[in-house]
Chain A
Amino acid sequence: MTEAETLTHITAIVTRILDDKGLPAPAITPDTELLGGELKIDSLDLAMLVRELEDVIGHDPFAEGFIEFRTAGELAKLYAK
Chain B
Amino acid sequence: MAGAFGIASSETAPLIAYLDRQITRGALAERGAALAALITAEGVSRLMVLSDDPLHILRAIDGAARAGADLFIAHTNLPEAEIESIKQQFAIQLIVGEADALTAISTEGQPPAGRIFMMTSGTTGAPKIAAHSLGALLSRAQAGASKASPGAKWLLTYQPTGFAGLQVQLTAAITGGVIVTPNERTPSGFLEAARTGGVTQISATPTFWRSFLMTMRPGDLALRQITLGGEAADQSTLDRVRKAFPDARVTHIYASTEAGVVFSVHDGLEGFPAAWLESAHQGAELRVRDGFLHIRTPNAMRNYVSDTPQPIQDDGWLATADRVEIRGERAYIVGRDDSTINVGGSKVYPLAIEQFLLQQPGVLEARVFGQPNPISGFLVAAEVVIEPSLDPAATRSAILAACREALASYQAPRVFKVVDAIAVRASGKKG
Using a CB–CB distance below 8 Å, which chain A residues touch chain B? 20-21, 33-37, 40, 42-44, 46-48, 50-51, 60, 62, 65-66, 68-70
Contact = CB atoms under 8 A, between A and B. Distances in A.
B240 A47 contact: no
A47 B186 contact: no
Contacts of A60: 374
Contact of A40 (B186, B213, B215, B414): B186
B189 A43 contact: no
Interface string B334-372: 000000000110000000000000000000000000010
A64 to B, nearest CB: 10
B207 interface: yes
Residue with the greatest number of chain A CB neighbours at <10 A, chosen from B186, B207, B214, B409: B214
Contacts of B188: 35-37
Contact of B210 (A40, A51, A66): A66
A42 B408 CA distance: 13
Contacts of B410: 44
B211 A51 contact: no
Contacts, number: 77
B192 to A, nearest CB: 8
A69 B215 CA distance: 10
A42 B409 contact: yes
A57 to B, nearest CB: 14
Contacts of A37: 186-189, 192, 215
B375 A47 contact: yes
Nearest to B397: A20
Interface of B: 185-189, 192, 207-208, 210-211, 213-215, 236-237, 240, 343-344, 371, 373-376, 379, 400-401, 404, 409-410, 414-415
B313 to A, nearest CB: 35
A61 to B, nearest CB: 9
Nearest to B211: A43
Contacts of A44: 343-344, 375-376, 379, 409-410, 414
Contacts of B236: 65-66
B240 A68 contact: yes
A15 B404 CA distance: 17
B414 A51 contact: yes
13 contacts: A20-B400, A37-B188, A37-B192, A43-B187, A44-B375, A44-B379, A44-B414, A47-B376, A47-B379, A51-B415, A66-B240, A69-B214, A70-B214
B236 to A, nearest CB: 5
A19 to B, nearest CB: 11
List the 3 closest A-B pairs by CB distance, nearest first: A37-B188, A62-B374, A43-B211
B374 A48 contact: no
A21 B404 contact: yes
Contacts of A34: 214
Contact of A46 (B185, B371, B375): B375
